[in-house]
Amino acid sequence: MPVAPRHRKRIILSVPGWWKTDPNLPFTLGPRVIPGRIWTASGCFAYGLSGHDISAPDIPSPYVGIGAVVTKTVTPAPRTGNPMPRLVETGTGAINSIGLENVGFEEFLAVTLPDLESRGVPTVVSLAATRPDQFGEMAGRLQEKAAGYTHWHGVELNLSCPNVAEGGHDFGRDPDTVAACVQSTRAQLPDRALLAKLTPNVTDIAALATAAVDAGADAVSAINTVIGLDVDLATGQPVLPRRFGGYSGPAIRPIALAKVDEIVSRSGVPVVGVGGIENFEDALKFFALGAVAVQVGTAQMRDPFAAARIARALAL
């Protein structure tokens, strides 16, 4: 009778021979040169200021090798977010319902972004709004305030946060609305990278990617969280007060890989891969499919050095 091995067999022990791109080197994305290809994902490293006081014996800082921190999503007005509980761990994934809690665009612009610039954190600002024109307004203000900033590299549009329960907020499912949001932003953002983060909760993600790039985006980030739900058996009710949340973590990696493949093969647009990346092997799978960069999300919550470790492991 076969005996199950105690540990999963590791197929790759070091970086494979086909890997020829050092992700620690700068690369061009649209009008901008980005310092590296290993990023942290929105919502998983806050605004990018929380890692400065943490050290590790083997890495001097969580920022070493990080190409960009995609900030926690910022909205035109501050948001207090959703009631607790906001997180559920489910085996190899986690469902969140944070509700876009954030300091609001004005405070971000006045306090957070200058702080990121002075600390030299490579930054991509994640924006969400309730109308397409608000994206343009915020992009215009960013451009005004931060035109001289050297570490602000771009904007990622959060068009698909499934845990915000406001009518019509989930822009990300309609190609025309995605295009409107991108156009409004692009018009104000001549010299920074513009990314649209796509939801996987659609039947044709490649069409959304095409719409975003045709409207002026330099790349798409794929994927945002998958809609998920867990039930508390003690009460028979969903664990999260808003029932649904965004499912993330290693469980969604195969979904993310499939969506990235679909976008690359059908739309041919540049993709930043995100979804369940925990280590350099996971990152390599996205690069193997043609991703131009990757974002580390849930794993960054567990280990502030997760992205830095991946960048180090893939250095050539």
Partner 1 sequence: MVELPRPAAIRCDGVVRANDPVSSGLLCLDLELEQPVSFLPGQFAMLNLAGDSSLVFSRPFSIFAAVGPVVSFLYREVGRGTRAMGALKPGDPLTFLGPLGHSFPVPDPRQPVVLIAGGVGLPPLAAWLEATGDGCERRVNAFFGARDGADVPWGILGDKWNVSVDNLVGMPPGRDAWHGLVTEMVAARADLRDGPPQTVLACGPTPLLKAARKLAAGRGWPCWLSLEEHMGCGYGVCKGCVVPVHDPGRGGGALRNATCCEEGPVFNAELLAWD
Among the residue ranges 47-55, 142-150, 180-188, 252-260, the one whose residues contact partner 1 (CB under 8 A): 47-55
14 binds partner 1 (CB under 8 A): no
Q: How far is the CB of 124 from partner 1 (least distance, A)?
A: 16
44 is annotated as an active-site residue: no
299: left (phi over 0), alpha (psi -120 to 50) or beta: alpha
What count of Cα atoms within 13 Å lies in the side-chain half-sphere of residue 268? 1
Among the residue ranges 81-89, 197-205, 211-219, 254-262, the one whose residues contact partner 1 (CB under 8 A): 81-89
User: Contact with partner 1 (CB under 8 A): which of 34, 121, 277, 301?
Assistant: 301
User: Contact with partner 1 (CB under 8 A): which of 21, 26, 89, 107?
Assistant: 89
φ and ψ at residue 192, rounded to 5 degrees: -120, 155
User: Contact with partner 1 (CB under 8 A): which of 7, 20, 167, 234?
Assistant: 7
68 binds partner 1 (CB under 8 A): no
CA distance 291 to 313: 18
Among the residue ranges 11-19, 53-61, 204-212, 281-289, the one whose residues contact partner 1 (CB under 8 A): 53-61
User: Contact with partner 1 (CB under 8 A): which of 15, 19, 64, 81?
Assistant: 81
Choose, from 94, 98, 100, 161, the residue flagged as catalytic.
161
